[in-house]
Every structure is written in structure tokens, then in C-alpha cells.
Amino acid sequence: MQARDIMTTAVVSVRPDTTIRKIARLLHERRISGVPVVNGEGKVLGIVSEGDLIRRPETGAGRHPSWWLDLLATPEDRAIGYVKAHGGNASDVMTRDVVSVGEEASLEEIADLLEKHRIKRVPVLRDDKLIGIVSRADLLHGLVARQAAPTTSASDHAIRSSVEAALMDAGVRSAFLSVVVAGGIVHLWGAVESSAEKEAARVAAENTPGVKGVSNEMSVLPPKVRAVMWAE
């Protein structure tokens, strides 16, 4: 099983000029810990995480380096730190050295990267362009699915694409959904906004050609979360 089998394809991303306020709201609404920054061609320029937003003056948790680190810092270091702490756009605060994987990366390789770099998600690139993202939750879903079917096939890849298209046709919002297909079994994880959407997702998956069964592990978002999502 590889990155392309478990990655979330409906990736939430922002542009370099997206404001910090909009990014913070996006992370809160989507319940995610980071978001890739891409240009008009889909090339990943960086990533903004919760950590990049928390230690800022407006939060009251600004970074205060020790006096000896401050002495060792160069004028360039201080300038970069100032922009990161006070800048108003994604390009000002993003981490530029992005850890990423290709679509053929194995689950073991992804797990090693998440552990080594102490990160929660990793972008998946094809020809340097963003095509998906794998989070810790996606990795866990893949490991569970792999227990039922240790290997995936070309037909599984085709089924996954068909299921995602069927979910879209059924009007199921995929912002919080994860689809993994192994051995013809479709595993649906994540959350939807209503019980009706949950049933629609199940039916859409069951009616997809080639599907042998559906494991529906989706939940319904609580009213308070839905209220925040639709708030102006």
C-alpha cells in the first residue's frame, strides 16, 4: 500500500498572499493542523502549521529566545524572525523546507518521516505539484485496511477514483472524508454533516462497480462544529 492509496485528494491549500486570519479560520473550521502553500501552478512553496500561528504577538504567546541565543543570532536571523512573527500573509510565516513524499511512497516510509521530523502530515507530490496529503489519521486508516488486504491492485486504485467521483455526484461533502480501498473493500472514515449524507456516502460506495463491500466508519459532525463551519 502506497501514499496514493491513502492520501486525501481534496487537499485544503492556500496561496502565498492568503492572510494569517483566513488561515487560522481555515485550520479551525477544517480541524486540521497545517495547510500547504501553493502557487498558481500547484507547486508547493511551503506549509503553515498551527505552530507557525500560535507564537505570535496577537496570541500573547510570542517567542522570547534566551539571551545567549539572541547574542548568537545574526542580523539576518533577527530579520527573518521578525517577519515570521509579525508578517500578515502565508508567505511571511510558512516553513519553506517542506518534507514531502511521492505517490509511490510506502506506509513505512511515510511513518518514518512523520516520526523523524515530528510532523502530523506530509504533502504528496507528482512532478513537484501537490496531488494529495497524508495525515497521521490517513496512515492509521491505511494500516487498518491493509490488515484485511495486504496488497492493493490497479483495480483498487480505479475503484477509489470511482468512489470519490460517486461521492461528489451524491452531493457528499468530502472535506472531512477519507477513502481507502483494499481488496475491493471500500473503507470510509471521517465525518459528514448529517445522517443523510452518511447514508448517501454508503449507498454511493456500494453502487460503485467493482466494490465487494463497504466498511462505513464515518461519524456525523456535532451541531456546534457545523455552526462554526457555516458562520460568516
pLDDT greater at residue 56 or residue 122: 122
Question: Is 60 exceeded by the pLDDT of residue 66?
Answer: no
Q: What is the DSSP string of 7-54?
A: -BSS---B-TT-BHHHHHHHHHHHT-SEEEEE-TT-BEEEEEEHHHHH
Q: What is the mean pLDDT of residues 71-92?
A: 64
Q: What is the pLDDT of residues 183-218, one digit of tens each?
A: 899 999 888 888 899 999 999 999 999 999 999 888
Residues β-bridged to residue 132 = 124
**Which sequence spans correspond to the domains of the chain?**
8-134, 149-232
Residue of 51 and 224 predicted with greater confidence: 51
CA of residue 17 relative to chain centroid, distance: 20
Q: How far apart are CA 187 and CA 122, in angstroms?
A: 21
What is the C-alpha separation between 205 and 87, in angstroms, rounded? 44
**Mean pLDDT for the stretch of residues 91-115:** 92
pTM: 0.69
**Can you give the pLDDT at residue 50?**
82
Q: How many other C-beta atoms are found inside a 10 Å radius of the C-beta of residue 179?
A: 24
* 8-134, CATH topology level: CBS-domain (3.10.580)
The domain 149-232 is classified under which CATH number: 3.40.190.10, 3.30.1340.30, 3.30.1360.120, 1.10.12.10? 3.30.1340.30
